[in-house]
Amino acid sequence: MSPADFARLLAGALPSRVRPAPPDTITEPIPDATRDTPPPPPVDGEPSSLRRAFAALHYRNYRLYWFGQIVSLVGTWMQSVSQPWLVLELGGTPLQLGLVLALQFLPSMFLAPFGGVLADRIDKRKTLMATQSTALVQASVLFVLTFTGVVQIWHIFVLATVLGLVNAVDMPVRQSFAAELVPRDDLVNAIALNSASFNLARVIGPAVAGVTLALFGAAFNFGLNAVSYLAVLLGLYLMTPSGLYRMARAARTPVLESLAEGIRYAWRTPTVLWPLVLLGGVSTFGFNFQTLVPLFAKQTLQLGANCYGALFAAMGVGSLAGSMSLAFAGRQRPLLPMILGGSAAFVVFEFLLGLTRSALPAYGLILIVGFASMLFVNTVNVTVQYGVPHELRGRVMALYVTVFAGSSPIGGLFAGGVAQVWGAPAGFLAGSVVSAAIILLVAWQLLVRGRDKAGVPMRMAA
């Protein structure tokens, strides 16, 4: 692909392959009904894997969403890096740092399943516009309190809870919205590129935040985050509703009955159940970087704000590489080895990170940790998405959000408590050991007790 072709693709000049549909039409997810014309053959010797890696960007609605997300997520990461640093600057303890993270994700533990019921019943695009607008207000309040110098730790507790309530609705809707932006053939690619946008922002956001945090303070980063929400709101507003791949909506059954239907499906479908068990266990005890990395950087490695941001950025580089590896992989790729192998590599290198006391090896180790973690998480996401009917997608993906984001309250308190008593390195070591035990349990269920019996697909089906 020549530079000019790539520029036209990003600008939207290449023809979209979205099949027009009348507004407000809900189409049944018949496999061949949403299959679009394959991409044209490679031009000027272009490798087919490159076109496959960016296939979802051929769709205008997805492009608008993707680029808006990148800008917004850069701001989100700037706030995520600055908030724990502010807590420490205000004299907060490691346990209070864990409590902030717990409050930010606690609502998802209880309310995300109900957000999934909502996602299966209402217009996802309009819902995202509402949740993102509320998050903009939350970031603005945090900016004003910090800029005026009146911010206290209890303010951060309250605002973290508000953001948690927003995310309890926003996250299940966002997870299931990808299926309405592209046809099923390109869903794997859309999921991988969504994760890539998250991790691209994970590289840019912390790197910039470390510099601006040192130069201008946390308030500046909170203000930039508030402004960044305008990008995703503009992208959602400019979408063409008739170009969405609307799926069959769930019947209007009582909320609790509808919720139970999604839970029963996940419980009876090993393809969904065991990846979620593994994700929940590892994310609870192993994915506590927002609690441990600030402490590790400041107290163990004796780093300043600049190097602290660079540490998060290094993890983002690895995470971006892990996300793009799935985008380039294509549809026929072994799933089970990627889930188990990625999770095993993650705990090994997190354990080694807990043993290091020098900055240079810490950067290399955390980069590998980021790569393995995203390879693992994205493959779980794809496995679950492919194992669920469209009419249940919101509810089942809400369970994904519950075990991933909802595990953070427990994990944040666990990591914060361990770090307060024994230090941040002990938090990495303890989390990796417990995570390894969970991986062995799930591997035994899937391999020793019979992979075929469990029903876990070995490859991504087109």
**Spatial distance between the Cα atoms of 123 and 227, rounded to a whole number of angstroms:** 25
Judge contact between 192 and 379, C-beta under 8 A.
Answer: no
CA distances from 207 to 204, 359, 371, 411 (A): 5, 16, 17, 25
Over residues 90-137, the pLDDT tens digits come to 988 888 887 887 788 777 777 767 776 776 777 889 999 999 999 999
* pLDDT over 70 at 25, yes or no: no
CATH superfamily of 50-239+254-454: MFS general substrate transporter like domains (1.20.1250.20)
Q: Which of 138-147, 334-343, 400-409 has the highest mean pLDDT?
A: 138-147
* pLDDT over 70 at 74, yes or no: yes
Please state, as a whole number, how many other Cβ atoms lie within 10 Å of the Cβ of residue 159: 21
Q: What is the DSSP letter of 148?
A: T
- CA proximity to 17, closest of 56, 43, 67, 47: 56
Judge contact between 247 and 179, C-beta under 8 A.
Answer: yes
Judge contact between 258 and 117, C-beta under 8 A.
Answer: yes
Over residues 323-337, the pLDDT tens digits come to 777 666 655 455 677
* pLDDT over 90 at 225, yes or no: yes
pTM of the model: 0.63
Q: State the pLDDT at residue 50.
A: 59
For residue 451, name the pLDDT band (cuts at 50, 70, 90). very low
Q: Check residue 93 and give left, alpha or beta (phi > 0: left; psi -120 to 50: alpha).
A: beta
State the Rg of the chain over Cα: 21
Judge contact between 379 and 335, C-beta under 8 A.
Answer: yes
Q: Check residue 19 and give left, alpha or beta (phi > 0: left; psi -120 to 50: alpha).
A: beta
Q: What is the DSSP letter of 299?
A: I
Q: State the pLDDT at residue 406.
A: 63
For residue 262, name the pLDDT band (cuts at 50, 70, 90). confident
Domain ranges of the chain: 50-239+254-454
**Spatial distance between the Cα atoms of 245 and 235, rounded to a whole number of angstroms:** 17
**Spatial distance between the Cα atoms of 440 and 219, rounded to a whole number of angstroms:** 44
DSSP H or E segment with residue 298: none
